[in-house]
Structure 1
Amino acid sequence: MNTIVVAQLQRQFQDYIVSLYQQGFLDNQFSELRKLQDEGTPDFVAEVVSLFFDDCSKLINTMSISLERPDNVDFKQVDSGVHQLKGSSSSVGARRVKNVCISFKECCDVQNREGCLRCLQQVDYEYKMLKTKLQDLFNLEKQILQAGGTIPQVDIN
């Protein structure tokens, strides 16, 4: 084990995860999720987040189809998708996705199709950004472990 390399990777990991919180991508729920991961379940967070991203993709696609028809939008179906997305984003700590869902729900409530379309684009953008950033974070974790190190605990508060 090269302790200098491990220390550099650990520092990079700490700085990166702190930046994700500072930029509003993540909230404390992500920290709580990380606490559930241990040696017996080393990929727990990555697996939960992967399921979240799969759900996001499906929900965004379904809502997109629902919003395609300008004269016949099923706002109840869109609202249901937004509700699911908001709940799942809250449970994994995806703060920016959750926040867009709040605005999205408001647009659904007043049946504002244009507002819903804008929110759909924004939620799609935020989900894809978060996915890329968390993939980078998980890759850093793998590098640390492959170098013989341990994943540092990061206190965000």
Structure 2
Amino acid sequence: MLGLGSDLLWADMNRLLRLLFHEGVLDEQFLQLQQLQDETSPNFVSQVINMYFHESEKLLNNLRSLLIQAHDDDFADYNKMAIHLNQFIGSSSSIGAKRLTSLCLAFRAATHHTNRPGCLRALEMLEHEYCYLKNKLHELFHIEQQRALVAAARYPLHDNNQ
């Protein structure tokens, strides 16, 4: 029965990944990230993604603060926003967050035109997409943890001291 549970969890993981690829949320870079995970670092992907989320929260807060303070003629704040967006673009593309990367590019274009209404819309869309990605990846990691637990129950570690 445990094998069936593991198979169902694999199917759930694959279904969720297919959805995220089909929607354009993720790209092949995410698969390359997964290929770096092995037995010596079984939590590699979740650790990288959690660091990404931690840094992204800071970037979103910085962008929100700068945008609240920004005026249409304040090029310094828009330049700072562009710098934060460049960081966000780099980190998002490195984990395969395709839609987030695209939204950051659109946001950066709005900053180049000091278009405050455009920046506000872009930030709203960016935050929405970020939350969606975060929820879906947490769901994926939860399924992966369940699968690991089922596998551990199926193949328990043997204590060599007994």
Pairwise same-fold verdict (TM > 0.5): yes
> Deviation of residue 146 (structure 1)?
0.5
Q: For residues 12-36 of structure 1, what are the alpha-carbon distances to aligned partners after superposition, in whole Å with 9 as ceiling and x for unaligned?
A: 1111111111111100000000000
TM-score (norm 2): 0.88
Give the drift of 1:69. 2.3
In structure 1, distance between residues paired with 2:3 and 2:85: 46
Please give the residue correspondences for 1:78-89 in structure 2 after superposition, counting only pairs within 5 Å.
78-89=81-92
Tell me the distance in 2 between the aligned counterparts of 1:110 and 1:19. 35
String of CA shifts for 1:92-146, please: whole Å, max 9, x gaps: 0011100101111110111111111111111111111100000000000011110
Choose from 103, 122, 126 the match for 1:123. 126
The number of residue pairs the alignment matches comes to 149
Q: How does 1:37-116 map to 2 (within 5 A)?
A: 37-71=37-71, 72=74, 74-116=77-119
Match of 2:11 in 1: 11
- Counterpart CA distance in 2 for 1:70 and 1:25 is 30
Percent sequence identity is 34
TM-score, normalised to structure 1's length?
Answer: 0.91
Q: Deviations over 1:15-65 (max 9, x none)?
A: 111111111110000000000000110110001011111111101110111
Where 2:137 maps in the other structure, the secondary structure is helix
Misfit runs of 4+, over 2 Å: 69-73
Structure 1: gaps (5+ residues): 150-157
Task: Provide the rounded CA distance (Å) in 1 between the counterparts of 2:23 and 2:64.
Answer: 27
Letter paired with 1:19: L
Structure 2 gaps, min length 5: 153-162
Counterparts of 2:144 and 2:96 in 1: how far apart (Å)?
18
RMSD: 1.3
Q: Tell me, in whole angstroms, the C-alpha distance in 2 between the residues paired with 1:69 and 1:11.
A: 47
